Structure 1
Amino acid sequence: MDARVGALNAGHGGGAAAVDGGPSRITQQQEHEQQQQALQQQPQIGTWQHLLSGGVAGAVSKTCTAPLARLTILFQVQGMHSDVATLSRPSMWREASRIVCEEGFRAFWKGNLVTIAHRLPYSSISFYAYERYKILLQSVPGLDRHNDFVAADICLRLLGGGLAGITAASVTYPLDLVRTRLAAQTNVIYYRDISHALYTICRDEGVKGLYKGLGSTLLGVGPNIAISFSVYEKLRSHWQLRRPEDNTALVGLGCGSISGIASSSVTFPLDLVRRRMQLEGAAGRARVYNKGLFATFGQIVESEGLRGLYRGILPEYFKVVPSIGIVFLTYESLKRFFSGVPSDSE
């Protein structure tokens, strides 16, 4: 789910008001005016503040949830180089105890430095790109009526969120791959640090090796980010219209967590395939999935069953709520700080 966490935008809490059904015109004028007033009250900040707010929000979130993220990765790659029939049922407590006993407590943050190095540009690009894509898409015929038509408003968010996620993932993908390989290492250390991993991958697998699994990433990040943006902004708009006195930080925390669960449930199999393809040929191991993206899906289902596509979903669920919540909470707080808008507690 790393392709999702840093790309969620708590920026403009727009959203559709009540509708008569389908792409019909919004008829509750008073509610629409309240929504526009809420939009105007949102913090307005410049380019570098957007970049810094998004980057810091992603880095803080990933650092806080690094132990659960590493458990997710270790579970996802189980069965890749071992007999699936001999694997025991995944246990978060058992795996966490093994990490502490064999690798030490600090091992929960293995690869976190490269995570931050990846998350800062990823989050910055995705947050900023979402704002820019929304402005660009508003000039497209049909989408320019997004304030009046529900269908146009939803389409604007889905396209903006998906394009932002794809842009950020494409630019920063090599760092994401390195992070996966560092986090997947247990007792045998093949990659010492970020620079050594980048050099070794290029030496052993060529420059193309830095982009293994990019196809599944781009295929998943679009709907992943789009679902997160759409669910978050819809919930946030609905909540603020009916309970405008509630603390905006808590609203962002709750809505962000729900949006993370929704997107995780839909796109987790793609994330699992991405992780396994990222580890193809790592540390000189033989290739396991060498017939393409869709053949990899079939191979996993054939050897591990449908449940194999959701291996590691439990720690992911435990991770996604605080992770997404921290992203939105940090981003909203930094936007208010930079814009000079006083918080609700002041």
Structure 2
Amino acid sequence: MPAPNPGASSSSTSFLPAKSWQHFVAGGLGGMCGAIVTSPFDVVKTRLQSDLFRQKSFAVAGAGADGAVLVGGGRPGGLLWHFVETTHIIRDIARDEGPRALFKGLGPTLVGVVPARSINFFTYGNGKQLIARHFNHGQENTYVHLSAAAVAGIVTGTATNPIWVVKTRLQLAARNNEKHAATGMIGKIFREEGIKGFYKGLSASYLGVTEGTIQWVLYERLKRLSAGTEGKGGVQEWLGMLGSAGTAKCVASLITYPHEVLRTRLRQPLVNGKMKYTGLWQTFRVVLAEEGGRALYGGLTAHLMRVVPNAAVMYSIYEGILRWGA
């Protein structure tokens, strides 16, 4: 990247910018730390996105004094209650399945996050410099950032989709007879669905490239707006960076969230030997017909509680390593 001097690589004679490997290492470390810290919210989000757990999740969140269910249609409290119900679900998962259940799928998540973030940050950080160098006279702008982010999203999604399929299946395995180690789940998917099973949800992942693109473009713009804090060090500079990363992720997630639900549904296991969701458009129509438009935002609160601090942690570590290695 590095942000303070976007055109610095334009004079390089090599294909890749100098110290291009730093983006790979920094992205992987940032992604790993963020994933560990926010894993419980990831489990809750996946379950709320899946129709296999909708009724169960509604039940464990509890009922009001009058017996009314406090989750799902008719629940009180609006947005604030969404945060309350998320903490209720986390509490009940820990109580009913044990604290380790809050970290289900963390192994595949880390196996996926480290290469995914490494690939994404490497492709974006170096890609924007290459695109600027060859197509925009060495100058970065919004179009350069948008192009680099789109390419990075497609490359990352294609390379890591099998890992996310395994992670999703592990997080949806709640009953004891459905629990699998990662290797067991890989074998189960291969036996029942073949190689194609590892690429379920890929179309939704490509749709999700828009989220990463919006996030990177917003992050670059917000970081530029907070550039007045750079060089001052201490709390002020890091708050500007944290705010830029968190805000960019929050806005991008709110705009593009339905693709997350569609992707989770597409990655669900067979039920009674049948695959309910078979394609992106078919999944969209089935969800709307059976559950209504609100189902496309299932798990949104848990998602935001995970991805916003995750992005803040990840981008801070990423920028810190780049500056340390500069």
Quote the offset at 1:135 in angstroms.
3.0
Q: 2:18 & 2:94 partners in 1: Cα distance?
A: 43
Cα pair distance change 1:239/1:105, threshold 3 Å: same
- Which of 250, 257, 272 in structure 1 is aligned with 2:261? 272
Identity of aligned residues (%): 26
**Are 1:190 and 2:178 an aligned pair?**
yes
Shift of residue 167, structure 1, vs aligned partner: 0.4
Distance (whole Å) between structure 2 residues aligned to residue 306 and residue 52 of structure 1 = 40
Q: Aligned partners of 2:56 and 2:90: how far apart in 1?
A: 22
Could you say which residue in structure 2 is the equivalent of 1:24?
A: none
The correspondence of residues 67-78 of structure 1 with structure 2, limited to 5 A, is 67-78=40-51
Local SS of the residue matching 1:128: helix
Alignment of 1:1-346 (within 5 A): 11-13=1-3, 46-78=19-51, 89-90=71-72, 91-139=85-133, 141=135, 143-144=136-137, 146-147=139-140, 153-220=141-208, 222-241=209-228, 245=232, 247-281=236-270, 285-290=273-278, 292-339=279-326
Shift of 1:331: 1.2
Q: 1:324 to 1:285 in 2, by over 3 A?
A: farther
Distance 1:197 1:45, change over 3 A: farther
Aligned 8 A contact 1:161 1:225 in 2: yes
- How many Å separate the matches in 1 of 2:299 and 2:286? 18
Count the aligned residue pairs.
297
Q: Any conservation in 2 of the 1:60–1:327 contact (CA below 8 Å)?
A: yes
Q: TM-score, normalised by structure 2?
A: 0.82
Paired with 1:137 and 1:39, the residues of 2 have a C-alpha distance of 11
Residue 245 of structure 1: CA displacement? 2.7
Distance 2:58 2:87 in 1: 21
C-alpha deviation, 1:81, in angstroms: 8.2
Q: In 2 relative to 1, CA 45–109 (structure 1 residues): closer, same or farther, beyond 3 Å?
A: farther
Which one-letter code corresponds to 2:22 in the other structure? Answer: Q
Q: What CA distance in whole angstroms lies between the structure 2 residues aligned with 1:83 and 1:330?
A: 37
Task: Provide the rounded CA distance (Å) in 1 between the counterparts of 2:89 and 2:267.
Answer: 22
1:70-94 residue CA offsets vs partner (Å, 9 max, x unmatched)? 1111111035786999986252233
Gaps of 5+ in 2: 11-16, 60-68, 73-84
Q: How does the TM-score come out when normalised to structure 1? A: 0.78
Instruction: Measure how far apart 1:305 and its partner are.
Output: 1.3
Structure 1 range deviating more: 86-95 or 295-304:
86-95
Q: Which amino acid aligns with 1:130?
A: Y
Moved over 6 A (4+): 35-40, 80-88
2 CA distance for matches of 1:131 and 1:37? 12
Q: Distance in 2 between matches of 1:88 and 1:66?
A: 24
Deviations 1:181-213 (A, max 9, x none): 111221234352121111111111111000011
CA distance in 1, matches of 2:70, 2:162: 32
Residue aligned with 1:144, SS: coil
1:72-124 deviation digits (Å, cap 9, x = unpaired): 11111035786999986252233223211211112111110111111111111
- The one-letter code matched in structure 2 to 1:309 is L
